[in-house]
Structure 1
Amino acid sequence: MSLFEQLMTSAPVQIVVVGDTIVDESVYGEITGYAQEACPIFKEHRRRYSPGGAAKIAYNLAVLGARVNFVTCANLQMTSVSRVTQKLDAVGVILDLLPRQGYRNEIKTRYHVGEEQIHMRHDTPWAWYAQSSEGTVAYLARSSAYTGVYAVYADYGKGMMPAGWRPMGDPRHTLINMRGPAGLHDCDTAVLNLAELSALTGIAYDNSVHTRTRMYGILRGRATITNLVSTAGADCVMCYSGDRCTMSTLPKPLIVKNVVGGGDAVVAITALLRAHNLPVDCQLAARAGQLSVQRRLDWAALLPELRLPGTPALHVAGQNIAQVLSKLRVPGLRSPVIGFTNGCFDVMHAGHMKFLSDAARQCDYLFVAVNGDESVHRLKGDGRPVQPLAQRIAAVQAHPGVTAVVTQEELTPHALLQQIRPTYLFKGYGYASTEDAVGHELVTAYGGAVKIIPDGLPGFSTTETITACGGNACSSGVGN
Structure 2
Amino acid sequence: MEMLAIPHFASAHVLIVGDVMLDRYWHGSSNRVSPEAPVPIINVSEEEDRPGGAGNVAINIAALGGQVSLVGVVGDDDAGALLKRRLDIAGIRSDFHIAKFKPTITKLRVMSRHQQLLRIDFEEQFDADDNLNLEDKVFPVLPKAKILVLSDYAKGTLQDCQTLIQRAKSFGIPVLVDPKGGDFSRYQGASLLTPNINEFEAVVGHCTSEQDLISKGLQLIAKLELGALLVTRGEMGMTLIRARQPAIHLPARAREVYDVTGAGDTVIAVLASMLGAGQSMPEAVALANLAAGVVVGKMGAATVSVSELRRAIHSEQTYDRGIVSEEQLMHVVEVARANGERIVFTNGCFDIIHAGHVRYLNDARKQGDRLIVALNTDASVTRLKGPNRPINPIDRRMAVLEGLESVDWVVSFDDDTPERLLSRVKPDVLVKGGDYNADQIVGSEIVKAYGGKVKVLRFFENCSTTSIVNRIRQQ
Q: TM-score range by the shorter chain?
A: 0.5 to 0.7
What do the CA deviations read for 1:395-427 (whole angstroms, capped 9, x no partner)? xxxxxxxxxxxxxxxxxxxxxxxxxxxxxxxxx
Local SS of the residue matching 1:18: strand
Q: How far apart are the structure 2 equivalents of 1:191 and 1:35?
A: 47
Q: How far apart are the structure 2 equivalents of 1:52 and 1:61?
A: 13
Partner of 2:214: 213
The residue identity in structure 1 corresponding to 2:275 is R
1:72-111 matches, within 5 Å, as 72-75=72-75, 77-78=77-78, 80-111=79-110
TM-score by length of 1: 0.58
Deviation for aligned residue 1:221: 2.5
**Residue 169 of structure 1 pairs with residue 171 of structure 2:** no
1:219-298 matches, within 5 Å, as 219-233=220-234, 236-242=237-243, 243-254=245-256, 256-280=257-281, 281=283, 282-297=285-300
Over 3 Å counting, the alpha-carbon distance change for 1:12 and 1:108 in structure 2 is same
Deviation for aligned residue 1:293: 2.1
Deviation for aligned residue 1:156: 0.9
Partner of 1:114: 113
Q: How far apart are the structure 2 equivalents of 1:50 and 1:150?
A: 24
The residue identity in structure 2 corresponding to 1:47 is E
Partner of 2:445: none
Contact 2:26–2:47 under 8 Å retained in 1: yes
Q: How far apart are the structure 2 equivalents of 1:62 and 1:224?
A: 30
Deviation for aligned residue 1:247: 1.9
Contact 1:235–1:286 under 8 Å retained in 2: no
Partner of 1:16: 15
Q: Which runs of 5+ in 2 are unaligned?
A: 319-475
Q: Which runs of 5+ in 1 are unaligned?
A: 314-480
Deviation for aligned residue 1:286: 1.8
For residue 196 of structure 2, the aligned residue among 193, 196, 201 is 193
Q: How far apart are the structure 1 equivalents of 2:64 and 2:237?
A: 21
Over 3 Å counting, the alpha-carbon distance change for 1:283 and 1:96 in structure 2 is same
Deviation for aligned residue 1:211: 4.2
Contact 2:74–2:96 under 8 Å retained in 1: yes
Over 3 Å counting, the alpha-carbon distance change for 1:153 and 1:237 in structure 2 is same
For residue 309 of structure 1, the aligned residue among 311, 314, 333 is 314
Structure 1 vs Structure 2: percent identity of aligned residues?
Answer: 19
The residue identity in structure 2 corresponding to 1:261 is G
Deviation for aligned residue 1:214: 3.4
Contact 1:156–1:179 under 8 Å retained in 2: yes
Deviation for aligned residue 1:163: 5.5
**Residue 30 of structure 1 pairs with residue 29 of structure 2:** yes
Deviation for aligned residue 1:164: 6.7
Partner of 2:48: 48
Local SS of the residue matching 1:295: coil
Contact 2:13–2:145 under 8 Å retained in 1: no
Contact 1:23–1:105 under 8 Å retained in 2: yes
1:76-475 matches, within 5 Å, as 77-78=77-78, 80-126=79-125, 128-141=126-139, 143=140, 146=143, 149-162=146-159, 165-166=162-163, 167=165, 168-170=167-169, 173-180=174-181, 183-201=186-204, 203-204=205-206, 208-233=209-234, 236-242=237-243, 243-254=245-256, 256-280=257-281, 281=283, 282-297=285-300, 299-307=302-310, 308-310=313-315
Deviation for aligned residue 1:75: 3.2
What do the CA deviations read for 1:294-333 (whole angstroms, capped 9, x no partner)? 22335232223112235789xxxxxxxxxxxxxxxxxxxx
Q: How far apart are the structure 1 equivalents of 2:287 and 2:161?
A: 33
Local SS of the residue matching 1:99: strand
Local SS of the residue matching 1:56: helix
Q: How far apart are the structure 1 equivalents of 2:214 and 2:37?
A: 48
Q: How far apart are the structure 2 equivalents of 1:293 and 1:186?
A: 31
Q: How far apart are the structure 2 equivalents of 1:222 and 1:109?
A: 39
Deviation for aligned residue 1:209: 2.5
Q: How far apart are the structure 2 equivalents of 1:305 and 1:286?
A: 13
Local SS of the residue matching 1:105: coil
The residue identity in structure 1 corresponding to 2:291 is A
Deviation for aligned residue 1:99: 3.5
Over 3 Å counting, the alpha-carbon distance change for 1:232 and 1:311 in structure 2 is closer
Q: How far apart are the structure 2 equivalents of 1:158 and 1:217?
A: 28
The residue identity in structure 1 corresponding to 2:288 is A
What do the CA deviations read for 1:149-178 (whole angstroms, capped 9, x no partner)? 311111111221225733222165111112
Q: How far apart are the structure 1 equivalents of 2:123 and 2:83?
A: 17
The residue identity in structure 1 corresponding to 2:39 is C
Q: How far apart are the structure 2 equivalents of 1:200 and 1:136?
A: 28
Local SS of the residue matching 1:125: coil
Contact 1:235–1:251 under 8 Å retained in 2: no
The residue identity in structure 1 corresponding to 2:154 is G
Local SS of the residue matching 1:165: helix
The residue identity in structure 1 corresponding to 2:314 is P
- Aligned residue pair count: 306
TM-score by length of 2: 0.58
Deviation for aligned residue 1:179: 1.4
What do the CA deviations read for 1:170-216 (whole angstroms, capped 9, x no partner)? 16511111213673221211111112212332x0357x523432331
Over 3 Å counting, the alpha-carbon distance change for 1:159 and 1:249 in structure 2 is same
Deviation for aligned residue 1:148: 5.7
Contact 1:16–1:146 under 8 Å retained in 2: no
Contact 1:57–1:264 under 8 Å retained in 2: yes
The residue identity in structure 2 corresponding to 1:72 is G
